[in-house]
A and B are shown apart, each in its own frame.
Chain A
Amino acid sequence: MTNTVYVPIDSAATSVGATAVALAITAEARRRDIDIRLVRNGSRGLLWLEPLVEVETVEGRVGYGPVTAADVAALFDSDFLTGADNGFSVGIVEDIPWLADQQRVTFARVGVIDPLDINDYEAHGGLTGLRTAIALGPSKTVEEVLASGLRGRGGAGFPAGIKWRTVLEAESGQKYVCCNADEGDSGTFADRMLMEGDPFTLIEGMAIAGIAGGATKGLIYIRSEYPDAIATMRAALLIARGCGLLGDDVLGSGKAFDISVRVGAGSYVCGEETAMLESLEGKRGMVRAKPPIPALHGLFGEPTIVNNVLTLGTVPMILAQGAAAYQALGADRSRGTQVFQLAGNIARGGIVERAFGISLKELVETYGGGTRSGRPVRSVQVGGPLGAYFPASALDVAMDYEALLAAGGMLGHGGIVVFDDSVDMAQQARFAMEFCSKESCGKCTPCRVGSVRGTEVIDKIINNVDRNENLELLNDLCDLMIDGSLCAMGGLTPMPVLSALRQFPEDFQR
């Protein structure tokens, strides 16, 4: 029997040596005259175990990790090809409680399949959603997405079905589907992992959106910082065209839909949907005033469905399993699952997909296992660089859109960054303003000028110059940025600043 061995090709795994491990396994097998089939899968998302090697056995896939190329000979010596329990073994991967307790919908196939094997994709439920959508037709497909309660996973949380319905009802000769893969928030990597680990689900989701909204052209805007995701998506698009998933007659439906990849050039604000549309038009990534909304006046002024990778990547599962199944998960108005990303100084970082409503505490402590450094957790930033800092004493907050807003934070794209007690929260507040000053598109004054002034004022506070006056000034400035900015960049930068100031005042007076 040929042994099947899995070594992830996900760039997080390769960043810590997975490709060297894969090469060493191939060489060692050849040296020992053992026939193996090596599959480069996506990552399961248990990133602290990367590189995580898996071996197919009758009981299931047995994992070994973290493994280095230097460990490979020892792996063979200790019979890892039979699933033997040796020093590297983590047991049956799907039985690891960290993974077994998750509710993987969007990430159901990531780490399981060969990302560029369309047959493997179909064998694991792929294309069922698109076939369902073709059979249902545009209106009923939109109704399914509406009924599922799916909201935008990019951060704004707008109901996807309402956008889709708006585009469907708009009159135009050319409509577009634009996928926002400009995942710039620090602490987030789910878009990247989905594109690298299950690219066909994004393609299928965009094709469903195209059929539902009446669009024939799709564009994926991927940030240049993700070279592997760009390469994987481009390869997947070629395969998709070759097998009729894209083209003039999508899966025999008589409908045309095709997708191309566009690459960013290093601009955080291009993750804002209107700035992304400007960038897709080849211009400076300047934010547009809304209204008009992109659903009516989007790319090149035409009706455009703009959704995040996770939103579009979830749609095939919703259509395949029915809106009711997805809607049954979640809390209050946050339906379905959220792909949480555990990051920063964390012992067990990675992807945790769970229904909305799980507590931040459970994510950080039970899944995350506290800090990687072993020191106490002091602060947790939720929702990217524009999200609030929570002190370790206030992690008992439910992770859903509304509960987080009520707690003074926001869900954003689901990133969770943990800091230990060596963090200087005044420096983190300063960084938030400095980041805004570097990445502001410059269109509106509160953001463009406010962020520069904000950095200066925080410096004065840190250096004890007219402390009380400058604290008052900082609060005033933050109010102005919140109320007066055109988009979330300037409007939300005060969130990390003010949460740091209010929760950790001692760091601002040293």
Chain B
Amino acid sequence: MAHRVRPWTQADGQELLKLLPYDERLILPALQAVQQGFGYVPKEAVAQIAVALNVSVADVHGVLTYYHELRTTASAPIIVAICVAEACQAAGARELIVHVSANLAPVGGRSTDDQVDVVEVFCLGNCALGPAALINERLVGRLTPNTLEAALSDARVAL
């Protein structure tokens, strides 16, 4: 998720990989650490991870492209992950997404002010209080267009 990050450099990337605990010297935890530190996984980091873990570049690339959350470009400062799974659909998620697409950005897109990425997520575990979304790791429920807008304003203030 979006948070304050620093630009990737060879030296910083190397340092970060050294900090991985012994039993997390594995491809996925390494990629997650890089994304946590730098906001995304730059191309150069893929080769660096391969060397550090003594695996092939193809192995690292394979893991990087498998998981929905790993990304190869920087995200907007705010990520709105809207639940599109069944329980939220039953509570009005499809209508909420129509509103968000018209007023903020389509699912998978970025707002015109470049501040917000809208992504879909399959379940946030808030299925009795849907529709739900995760806004920079803050879970919000019983969403309406208005309450979503209010939660977004909070997130903008927190930047």
Contact = CB atoms under 8 A, between A and B. Distances in A.
Contacts of A263: 32
Interface string A1-42: 000000000011011100000000000000000000000000
9 contacts: A11-B139, A183-B123, A192-B125, A229-B125, A265-B31, A343-B130, A345-B90, A385-B85, A431-B89
B137 interface: yes
B26 interface: yes
A431 B27 contact: no
Contacts of B130: 343-344
Closest 9 CB pairs of A and B: A282-B26, A349-B128, A186-B85, A343-B127, A344-B90, A266-B68, A265-B67, A15-B141, A266-B69
Nearest to B62: A284
Nearest to B94: A427
A189 B128 contact: yes
Interface in A264-312: 264-268, 279, 281-285
Given A224-B69, A265-B70, A344-B87, A282 B63 contact: yes
Contact of A417 (B87, B125, B129): B87
A381 B63 contact: no
Interface string A340-353: 01111110011000
A445 to B, nearest CB: 18
Interface residues of A, number: 58
A186 B126 contact: no
B63 A283 contact: yes
A284 B130 CA distance: 31
Nearest to A423: B90
B82 to A, nearest CB: 12
Contacts of A285: 66-67
Give the residue among A187, A279, A420 with the most B Cβ atoms within 10 A: A187
B91 A344 contact: yes
A204 interface: no
Contacts of A15: 126, 129, 132, 139-142
B29 A262 contact: yes
B148 interface: no
Contacts of B80: none
A284 B86 CA distance: 26
Given A228-B139, A282-B26, A188 B68 contact: no
